[in-house]
């Protein structure tokens, strides 16, 4: 089977985990380079031990090297600010981009929801860890009943939030909120992230609250369960923590939620999730990082297997 050459920008936790996932799991991708800024980082050291070309002097120098010949796609696991520069450089070379930062230059992608309709996009954005975990649930409920309001809370271990995550908290909430609406289908979206300092570290937990029009309760539950199974196909540690909770709200009850003061009649649907990491590189509690790299891997494999031209 033909293997497509890819490169990864970012030798931190996400970039290193992604590199190892491609090496261990992918039958169609080959890592042709890891680009970082710290020659002493663990990611660079691991890449060298694996015989993967490394570059610590910038994307431009990597693209000028023989190691970059034939690279069809680059994952960017750096920061929202850096991605804008990387996107311009890679676009000039006609290289596809899978963006794991909150830069949101390309369309938001959640593989179980909208990947097939964006296979030709030259740059795709993987939203955020909270978005990858919760937007499929919002979309599943939206498929049964119109969602007026969706609020998600992503709780992750402080130890799994590196400097990149902490520097992009504002982008996390803004990007996730927009994607809840654009991809999940909610009329209004709100995202909250909690960094939990508990020791031992907690496994990623996500809460999804949707206010939707009245519909058959069993159909809503079935749609959510089907979506959970689809996500678990590429994120094995993704699962429900409790049964889907559905409550009747009305008649025309006043609700004050986040920035929205509204009167509402319908259903309140609550879904509680857990995301356990595969521990390929990071601890199993770091499901927030694992779901990003797993979703990015699935996205790149589908994009390159379809032979779409960006």
Query: Which residue of the set 55, 56, 129, 210 is catalytic?
Result: 129
Cα–Cα distance measured from residue 121 to residue 97, given in angstroms and rounded to the nearest whole number: 9
Whether 129 is catalytic: yes
Has 45 been labeled as part of a binding site? no
Has 164 been labeled as part of a binding site? yes
Has 13 been labeled as part of a binding site? yes
Has 11 been labeled as part of a binding site? yes
Has 288 been labeled as part of a binding site? yes
Has 258 been labeled as part of a binding site? no
Sign of CA dihedral 198, 202, 204, 207: negative
* Cβ atoms 116, 164 nearer than 8 A: no
Residue 158 per-residue DSSP state: G
Has 163 been labeled as part of a binding site? yes
Cα–Cα distance measured from residue 107 to residue 178, given in angstroms and rounded to the nearest whole number: 11
Q: Tell how far CA 221 is from the center of its chain.
A: 23
Has 162 been labeled as part of a binding site? yes
- Give the CA distances from residue 169 to residues 156, 214, 272, 286, in Å, rounded to whole numbers and listed in that order: 13, 34, 22, 17
Has 168 been labeled as part of a binding site? yes
Has 167 been labeled as part of a binding site? yes
Has 58 been labeled as part of a binding site? no
Has 109 been labeled as part of a binding site? no
- Report long-range pairs for 235-238 (Cβ below 8 Å, ≥24 apart): 235/132, 235/275, 235/290, 235/291, 235/294, 235/295, 236/278, 237/274, 237/275, 237/276, 237/277, 237/278, 237/284, 237/287, 237/290, 238/133, 238/273, 238/274, 238/275, 238/287, 238/291
* Cβ atoms 59, 67 nearer than 8 A: no
The helix or strand, by DSSP H or E, that contains position 177, with its residue range, turns out to be: helix 169-182
Cα–Cα distance measured from residue 186 to residue 179, given in angstroms and rounded to the nearest whole number: 9
Annotated binding-site ranges for NAD(+): 11-14, 160-168, 288
Q: Which sequence positions are flagged as catalytic? A: 129
Residue positions forming the annotated binding site: 11-14, 160-168, 288
């Amino acid at each position: 089977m033909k293997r497509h050459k890819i490169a990864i920008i970012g030798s931190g936790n996400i970039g290193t985990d992604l590199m190892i996932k491609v090496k261990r799991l992918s039958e169609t991708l080959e890592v042709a380079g890891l680009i970082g800024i710290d020659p002493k980082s663990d990611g660079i050291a691991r890449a060298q031990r694996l015989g993967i070309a490394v570059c610590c002097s910038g994307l431009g120098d990597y693209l000028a090297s023989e190691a970059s010949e034939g690279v069809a796609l680059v994952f960017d696991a750096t920061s929202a600010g850096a991605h804008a520069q990387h996107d311009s450089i890679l676009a000039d070379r006609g290289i596809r981009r899978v963006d794991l930062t909150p830069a949101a230059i390309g369309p938001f992608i959640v593989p179980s929801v909208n990947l097939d309709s964006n296979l030709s996009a030259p740059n795709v954005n993987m939203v955020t860890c909270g978005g990858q975990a919760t937007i499929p649930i919002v979309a599943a409920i939206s498929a049964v009943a119109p969602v007026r309001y969706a609020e998600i809370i992503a709780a992750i271990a402080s130890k799994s939030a590196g400097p990149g995550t902490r520097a992009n908290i504002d982008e996390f909430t803004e990007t996730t909120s927009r994607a809840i609406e654009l991809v999940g289908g909610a009329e209004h979206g709100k995202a909250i992230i909690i960094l939990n300092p508990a020791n031992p570290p907690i496994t990623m937990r996500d809460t999804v609250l949707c206010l939707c029009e009245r519909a058959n309760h069993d159909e809503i539950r079935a749609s959510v369960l089907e979506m959970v199974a689809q996500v678990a196909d590429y994120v094995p540690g993704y699962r429900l923590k409790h049964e889907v909770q559905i409550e009747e709200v009305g008649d025309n009850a006043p609700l004050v939620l986040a920035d929205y003061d509204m009167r509402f009649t319908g259903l309140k649907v609550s879904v509680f999730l857990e995301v356990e990491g595969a521990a390929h590189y990071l601890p199993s509690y770091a499901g927030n990082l694992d779901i990003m790299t797993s979703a990015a891997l699935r996205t790149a494999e589908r994009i390159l297997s379809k032979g779409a031209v960006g």
